[in-house]
């Protein structure tokens, strides 16, 4: 190798290493479990010019998740909108945006997103349930769609009992018994899901008191990483429940101590 070529390669290596290292650091911080750090890292990563399109979609989605963890749902939706503009029909951004619209009470938009989610890939039980609930909460009748979905889904095991409940083939007591029948490790997680969806079941029947009791029990499971946990909190807020500033559940929902999200 000639000295000239070697010198050129060394020069290029020094010139590119800082930018590459900075990009890697930003990407690592973008993936942080600390939402404030994740937002800063994702923003720095997106401001760089070396990211590929798939990485850009990932960064917008990650930043959206960080915003969601702070209750900044409208900021999250803006990022998910951008991700979907760059990569239309992407499953995870659509799913996240659908849930975020649901948290905000934008049920018609949530229904549209979950309809696209189901069309974009094979049906999953939870996607079918979210679509049904979004349609029902928007004032529509999604039972026919849910029946059609159920014909292609595993109904015997969890979360099949949830679908049977919404189809009128079962009831909340059977759902809760099914959730408790799992291993101890899964019980709190399945019960969080069960209580949230039982709450939805009662809401759709205008039994507000029973719905609120179910949502409170969902928060009592401490499965705070589950979307149903956050969903139960948002439903209770929508129904007028207030949370003391020192409520320990708020520290799991809003890691920086934000108790009154500005996006509401």
The model's pLDDT over 109-127, given as tens digits with 9 standing for 90+, comes to 999 999 999 988 777 999 9
| pLDDT on residue 49 | 56
Identify the pLDDT of residue 182.
Answer: 73
pLDDT of residue 203: 98
Region at 251 (left for phi over 0; alpha for psi -120 to 50; beta for the rest): alpha
> Which fold would CATH assign to domain 25-88?
1.25.40
Q: Which residue has the higher pLDDT, 150 or 7?
A: 150
Is the pLDDT score of 82 beyond 90? yes
Q: Considering only residues 18 and 166, tell me which one the structure prediction assigns the higher pLDDT.
A: 166
- Sketch the domain layout of the chain as residue ranges: 25-88, 92-153, 169-254
Write the CA distances from 125 to 55, 82, 132, 219, integer angstroms.
28, 27, 11, 22
237-259 pLDDT tens trace: 999 999 988 888 887 888 764 44
Q: Give CA–CA dist 60/43, Å, rounded.
A: 9
Enter the pTM of the model. Answer: 0.84
> Does pLDDT of 15 surpass 60?
no
> Do 164 and 155 contact (CB within 8 A), yes or no?
yes
Q: Report the range of poorest mean pLDDT among 12-16, 72-76, 115-119, 212-216.
A: 12-16
Phi-psi sector, 261: left (phi>0), alpha (psi -120 to 50), beta = beta
- Which pLDDT value is given to residue 259? 43
Q: Is the predicted pLDDT of residue 198 greater than 80, yes or no?
A: yes
Q: What is the pLDDT of residue 133?
A: 98
Q: What is the predicted pLDDT for the residue at 53?
A: 66
Whose CA is closest to 31, among 69, 57, 54, 62?
A: 62
pLDDT at res. 230: 96
Least confident stretch, 48-62, 127-141, 170-184, 215-229: 48-62
């Amino acid at each position: 190798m000639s000295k000239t070529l070697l010198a050129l390669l060394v020069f290029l290596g020094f010139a590119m290493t800082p930018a590459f290292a900075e990009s890697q650091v930003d990407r690592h911080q973008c993936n942080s479990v600390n939402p404030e750090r994740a937002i800063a890292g994702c923003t720095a990563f997106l401001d760089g010019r070396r990211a590929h399109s798939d990485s850009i979609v990932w960064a917008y989605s990650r930043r959206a998740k960080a915003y969601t963890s702070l209750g900044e749902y409208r900021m999250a939706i803006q990022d998910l909108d951008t991700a979907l503009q760059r990569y239309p029909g992407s499953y995870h951004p659509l799913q996240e945006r659908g849930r975020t619209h649901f948290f905000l009470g934008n049920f018609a938009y949530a229904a549209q997103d979950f309809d696209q989610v189901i069309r974009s890939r094979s049906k999953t039980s939870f996607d079918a349930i979210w679509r049904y609930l979004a349609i029902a909460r928007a004032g529509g009748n999604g039972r026919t769609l849910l029946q059609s979905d159920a014909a292609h889904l595993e109904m015997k095991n969890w979360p099949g009992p949830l679908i049977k409940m919404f189809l009128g083939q079962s009831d909340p007591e059977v759902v809760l018994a099914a959730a408790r029948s799992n291993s101890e490790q899964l019980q709190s997680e399945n019960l969080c899901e069960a209580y949230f969806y039982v709450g939805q079941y009662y809401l759709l029947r205008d039994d507000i008191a029973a719905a609120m009791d179910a949502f409170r029990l969902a928060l009592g499971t401490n499965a705070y990483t589950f979307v149903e946990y956050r969903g139960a909190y948002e439903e209770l807020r929508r129904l007028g429940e207030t949370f003391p500033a020192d409520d320990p559940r708020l520290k799991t929902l809003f890691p920086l101590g934000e108790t009154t999200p500005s996006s509401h």
